[in-house]
């Protein structure tokens, strides 16, 4: 292993003066301090809404034009990318290939540390190739400390094939020398435990990834009002939720809503349109497709 560079100048590696005596505090005092530090996260995110907005528009445009979203990262960053990707299919009824997370060291790294996996930039590029990254996709590199070679290699490869690139970090972007189409710099500050980016930086990562995919899905017609209408009811909880959504939006009683959901093969969006307009499953699907997936416009057909 080569001698490492000094990373003490990186924001996430700096020492937090508020927690210098944390090992002497009571349980309640430790928890209070952690909670107080977490309160800064939403303020840091709020400052970069324009960059997050640009990223969400990249993702939305990719989805509408046959592209996909790929997260890539190492350690906590990689795990959070895989987590957000895994939540998209059940939440928004999309194919598993639409959003995927790539983690240094492969899926074994989701549970175990894979030594040195993040230190090889060429491996980041190789993993992008193995996952079939295309020019119409979006690659979002996640490196809260900013310097992960694996992520840098992936971003540079994505740029070389004309893929839109997003880079997420919790340190100052000016020091990184990494060209991405948009860089999201969420400055959460030094961690309570020095360098432990699974804390504030990790929380900020989870929030921003949720914001990007959720916004892209809303703009893609996956939500009506604030209802999660484009999910398939694949378990008891989701059958109940789907029944309630149909009942409330179509203004029918619970039994009718449930029977409609079953008739719609447990697809909530089609079930809503069926109950609202009195059409068949086939007719509901056709009507939804004619309106680019937005059932708000399909509702107007009744007027």
Cβ within 8 Å of residue 97, ≥6 positions away: 68
145 is written with which tokens? Answer: 């400390």
pLDDT tens by residue, 38-93:
999 999 999 999 999 999 999 999 999 999 999 999 999 999 999 999 999 989 98
Residue 4: per-residue pLDDT: 67
Structural domains of the chain, ranges and CATH numbers in brackets: 11-219 (3.40.50.10490), 236-302 (1.10.8.1080)
Residue 178: per-residue pLDDT: 85
Residue 303: per-residue pLDDT: 44
Sorting pLDDT into bands at 50, 70 and 90, what band is 20?
A: very high
Q: Check: CB of residue 65 under 8 Å from CB of residue 191.
A: no
With b for 16 or more beta-carbon neighbours within 10 A and e for fewer, the 111-125 pattern comes to eeebeebbeebebbb
Cα 172–chain centre separation: 22
Tell me what the mean pLDDT of segment 161-183 comes to.
91
Cα 142–chain centre separation: 11
Residue 251, classified by CB atoms within 10 Å of its CB into exposed (0-12), middle (13-18) or buried (19+), is exposed
% residues pLDDT > 90 (the chain): 79
3-state secondary structure of 144: coil
pLDDT tens by residue, 118-160:
888 899 999 999 999 999 999 999 999 988 999 999 999 999 9
195 is written with which tokens? Answer: 């360098």
Q: Check: CB of residue 289 under 8 Å from CB of residue 267.
A: no
Strands (E), the chain: 69-73, 99-103, 138-142, 164-169, 182-185
Tell me what the mean pLDDT of segment 249-272 comes to.
95
pLDDT tens by residue, 95-108:
999 999 999 988 88
Catalytic residue numbers, as ranges: 87, 118
């Amino acid at each position: 292993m080569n001698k490492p560079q000094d990373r003490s100048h990186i924001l996430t590696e700096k020492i937090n003066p508020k927690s210098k005596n944390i090992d002497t505090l009571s349980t309640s005092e430790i928890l209070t301090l952690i909670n107080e530090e977490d309160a800064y996260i939403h303020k840091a995110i709020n400052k970069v809404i324009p960059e997050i907005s640009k990223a969400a528009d990249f993702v939305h445009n990719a989805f509408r034009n046959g592209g996909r979203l790929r997260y890539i990262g190492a350690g906590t960053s990689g795990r959070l990318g895989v987590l957000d990707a895994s939540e998209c299919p059940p939440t928004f009824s999309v194919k598993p290939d639409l959003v995927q997370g790539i983690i240094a060291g492969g899926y074994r790294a989701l549970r175990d540390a894979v030594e040195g996996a993040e230190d090889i930039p060429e491996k980041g590029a190789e993993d992008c190739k193995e996952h079939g990254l295309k020019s119409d996709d979006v690659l979002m590199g996640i490196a809260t400390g900013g310097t992960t070679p694996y992520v840098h290699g992936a971003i540079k490869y994505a740029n070389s094939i004309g893929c839109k690139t997003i880079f997420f970090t919790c340190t100052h972007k000016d020091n990184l020398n990494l060209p991405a189409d948009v860089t999201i710099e969420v400055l959460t500050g030094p961690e309570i435990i020095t360098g432990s980016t699974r804390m504030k930086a990790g929380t900020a990562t989870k929030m921003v990834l949720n914001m990007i995919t959720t916004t892209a899905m809303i703009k893609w017609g996956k939500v009506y009002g604030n209802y999660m209408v484009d999910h398939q009811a694949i378990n008891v909880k989701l059958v109940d939720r789907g029944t309630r959504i149909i009942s409330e939006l179509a203004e029918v009683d619970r039994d009718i809503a449930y029977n409609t959901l079953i008739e719609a093969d447990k697809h909530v969006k089609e079930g809503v349109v069926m109950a609202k307009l009195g059409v068949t499953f086939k007719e509901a699907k056709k009507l939804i497709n004619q309106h680019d997936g937005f059932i708000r416009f399909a509702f107007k057909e009744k007027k």
